Structure 1
Amino acid sequence: MLFRLLLGLIGLVLYPFRKLKNPPSTVEKVVYLLWSGIGNAVMALPAISALLDECGNKLLVYAIHPAAGKLLSPSNVVVMPVLKSPFGFLDTAKNLHRVHPQISITNFSSPTFLTSFLSYISGARYRMGYNRGMRGILFNIPLQAERMSERKADTQAVEQLFSQKTDFQPTVPRCEGFGRRFLSDSLEGATVILMGGEADREVIERMKTKKRIYRYIEDIPKTADLISKFSLFLSGDTGLMHIASSVGVPVIAIFGPTDPVKNRPGGDVRIIRRELPCSPCYRYRVPRCKRRDCLDIPVSEVLKEVKQRMGT
């Protein structure tokens, strides 16, 4: 918190001296810095698809999450090792500098200072990003960081770059922290299909001892194919929720400490949450939040909604 405050103060001092630019009339080479998890990648797909239509092989997507690359063409994706090791940031910075893009752009959920710094180091003449709390002072084409749907924000950023409408809908649950898990202790006697990655192994092994695991899927395309066969998808605020909405499956989404405005999926969706003065807070990792009031949602309430949607 102190570090973020210090960066904000530095940004405030430098703010009057920054030189803003307008987007270029001709696009030569674009780097898209794609941060966060699968859900954020799915929400950024309309924007990235629009960029691909306009730029083709002039676009490189640097993805922080390896699995996000599977949603895109491998020839256009580089996995950023920025958080993998102490040297990951330096490796990513060197790689970006060698690419030397004309334009850098990022998705809405990107870390402000880190992204602006990487954009600056890359040598990009046009750096588009969100100057939250004055920490993105190195961006010279600032984007609006108001509270809105992340999907809409990402698309608007591309609209600002090309000054055209990019109305594209892609056709393509477990998550970190207790605040994004719901009903995991309420599945006794159920047939369970688990979808996850290597980071989920510990939870999976624990569940195997007391639940019947019918199937376990790690591959994202196979996961999307399976979800597309569902009549209804019940989930917390996870990447799978966004995959389900993108393949046209109706979604019932249970929100706790995260923001239903920012993270709401597209398509046919019903949000269930508790209206609390402390929510959204994003404090879904222990010990940052030791209470679960926002997840105090009766199973009967969720079941009622499921029955209504299923017509039973």
Structure 2
Amino acid sequence: MDYRRLGRTDIEVSRVCLGTMTFGEQNTEAEAHAQLSLAHDHGITFIDAAEMYPVPPKPETQGLTERYVGSWLKATGLRDKLVLATKVVGAARDMKHIRNGSSRLNGANIRAAVEDSLVRLGTDRIDLYQLHWPDRKTTTFGQTTYVHEVDPEEVPIEATLDALAGLVEAGKIRAVGLSNETPWGAMRFLALAEQRGLPRVASIQNAYSLVNRTFEQGLAEIALREDCGLLPYSPLGGGTLTGKYLNGARPAGARMTLFTRFTRYNSAEALDAIGRYVALAREHGLDPAQMALAFVHRQPFVTSTIIGATSVEQLKQDLGGFDLVLSDAVLAGIEAIHRAIPSPCP
């Protein structure tokens, strides 16, 4: 396993991060513990969670992901050897069960969220604390057209950073990060941190995969020039780049068989592109999932790739993608498909 510094902090993370959003929904506590142990055995020291997890978010399961991670940390005693990341929800997205729907990124909500996460995780500090999505109205989760709309309740970015600064000073969080963020938002956070001596964001956690390369259009330059690297989630396009959903297939127990919320991967363009990428992998004797992960892993703006699985067998297979070096012929094939169908799943 390779390791890399997180932004300009003194925190070193493994180049692979274990995502945990299935813990408590598709995975039992025992299954979650098995995945965490397997990841640790393979040198993964970086774990990512969120207060709203598991997905899909529901009142009866909210917080189980962090609780399962916390019970594993308690059982293993490995807390000090790991980098633990979690997130606070942004402005309300039909989650009234979290703080009674009070989810603006102000001081009171952020402090309450941190305290609750610390309890569930069974730790006294969070290494990377991320804003799950912006407080302002913007393009997130598949929306491609920006419509400017000022929300009178929008929390200023400097107020959010002030709250995070207090938590850094108190030793409850070590570093801060963004998620589902735009180029303007990233630069605004960075500028305000520099101007006011506030915490500097160390990472951006956005979707990035063969079927969603929108990060390259503006954020990649920021990631590299500002040492604010990408923590890509959904590097397998919600599992679609494995090929298991092609031709209308819906395997028993698979995410898109169980849930209907992942519509961004179901358009005609998306299915066309996915089919082409899977065919390209097989043409070169590669596992489609491993090819997709290897493509993400090789990008210079990526700090650590977040992978999730619903079984240790899936996790083992995915880990093989990080040892794969893609040939020039495969890379040329990927670029040809990208030019024909650019980012069909933004």
TM above 0.5? no
TM-score of the pair, normalised by structure 1: 0.33
User: TM-score normalized by structure 2?
Assistant: 0.31
Q: Which has the larger radius of gyration?
A: 1
